[in-house]
Structure 1
């Protein structure tokens, strides 16, 4: 059963790639500490840009965005326990250490000293943690949507609260593994990314969100990571960046924040972003994954920001 399901996921990925005119290659990258395996999809050529997916979302979900950003080597990371990357329960060390270890370990495995990073939700959290704890590895960062639990004022959804509940969490986890119609998955996804973005997803992109949770170990991976990040609808305090940490970030950053982001309104996050001396906030139409609402608009903002790295890299005053 799991083999057939994996084939379905791979076929959906190929159709998404074809729909957006993308030619992708796949490889696994072994990270030493923590000892995990990530899955990496690469599209295009040029300066590398690393993309980190959100919680329980696929790397190929970035397809509508990267199709509008030619001239880069887009490196899409399926984190451990996501999509077709092997399951991982995110236990042991603090989850912040694990997240930074995964991101820097991927860079080591790819032979990259530092890189520009685009992180969505959980990926934004990992990028921010890394900018604080290993600043030499992230040259610039685009944080798309609320960066998971990184900033004060963030709240989870009702389904997230249910999944972290000791009484009902295991029941909800079992339900996630059961086959269900696309309409049910689309409705559930709308809670996080907004109804317009959910309605606009192709069936293949929707399948890339829903089918991996039926693979052995993936729903458990999702719930275990969520429980490390949140208690009910509230982020655990150790996962929220302090004011001093935000003020100490030196990595240039662009926050692309949907005006209808359900996890935190951009106006509520504005003060936190303002504490980062190298950060700029751009509020855009849409929800938590705003490139699914307006790919062209988000790509224009992100492309302009990434291009500044290219100009700086060619500056004779550098190196």
Structure 2
């Protein structure tokens, strides 16, 4: 594993500004308070760009947790310490401390698969267990469909991007030229506003999100370039009318040979559990677990039940 370990607060390479340093120190502290003893590392790709990861321990088949569109790995902080698998928790390109990228100039689906392939290669492993939420689920499906031999098990925790027709009016407006640029200039300045705007529509219980995780999330979304990255992603995948048809992933998922678990909140605002149930009837090796009293990010609403389901699924041998 080619890495640049960052094993203690303040051990940051030259060129990382104070804002990023504070974000990473606060994020590591939030994970550690919950019992996650991992460290931060950087994994270079073939072009020399670096993906930043939190890693609990090295393994020949780690579980890789890919965050959703909020743009922050902190969504996994309550879940990660409860999981029995060695974990890799990356910042997606353009977010956190990973390399910047312009999604308007890319084949979005192909680049999602490329990023995870180069991350898997950089970790020096043949296979990974892959867990994705929302837009992270889109990345996970894109990679598993392109490289099924590199994925031991796939988990979509909350409905994945590409499996629902409309991401919601606000995100569809963000995808619209002109209006989207104005939205990107809006800066959320306090944690309680973030609780309402970023989590209010996606969680059953946004009031339960701990204050320290909100503070880290606030730092993350206000990192330079993050709002523009989110806008570019929305423009790549959606229009004012909804998700771009060429980036829908139902067909890719329906033929996927990888052992797959769908973890679905019973109150997911973007797509109800019946969509997941229908998908599993068409997939060759899949099942669904519906989490009661949970929304689009079920591991934030109900981390304990989600951890139990994940540990049971990832711990099962393949048949």
Give the TM-score, by structure 1 length.
0.88
Shift of 1:218: 1.6
Q: 1:160 aligns with which of 151, 156, 171?
A: 171
- Which aligned runs of 4 or more in structure 1 are off by greater than 6 angstroms? none
Structure 2 distance, partners of 1:306, 1:224, is: 34
- Which residue of structure 1 aligns with residue 194 of structure 2? 185
Structure 1 distance, partners of 2:305, 2:272, is: 19
Shift of 1:78: 0.6
Matches within 5 A, 1:89-104: 89-104=102-117
Determine whether 1:274 maps to 2:281: yes
Matches within 5 A, 1:105-116: 105-116=118-129
- Which residue of structure 1 aligns with residue 81 of structure 2? 67
Determine whether 1:293 maps to 2:301: yes
SS at match of 2:129: strand
Contiguous gaps of at least 5 residues in structure 1: none
Determine whether 1:17 maps to 2:31: yes
Aligned residue pair count? 302
Structure 1 distance, partners of 2:122, 2:179, is: 39
Could you report, residue by residue, the CA deviation over 1:67-91 in whole angstroms, capped at 9, with x for unpaired residues? 1113x21100111111222321123
- Compute the RMSD of aligned alpha carbons: 2.0
Structure 2 distance, partners of 1:8, 1:305, is: 36
Q: 2:259·2:285 contact (CA, 8 Å) conserved in 1?
A: yes
Q: 1:52·1:120 contact (CA, 8 Å) conserved in 2?
A: yes
Structure 1 distance, partners of 2:250, 2:38, is: 39
Matches within 5 A, 1:129-168: 129-149=142-162, 151=163, 153-168=164-179
Q: 2:190·2:218 contact (CA, 8 Å) conserved in 1?
A: no
Q: 1:143·1:256 contact (CA, 8 Å) conserved in 2?
A: yes
Q: 1:90·1:221 contact (CA, 8 Å) conserved in 2?
A: yes
- 1:192 to 1:86, Cα distance in 2 relative to 1, 3 A: farther
- 1:36 to 1:260, Cα distance in 2 relative to 1, 3 A: farther
Structure 1 distance, partners of 2:49, 2:225, is: 14
Shift of 1:185: 0.8
Q: Which has the higher helix share?
A: 1
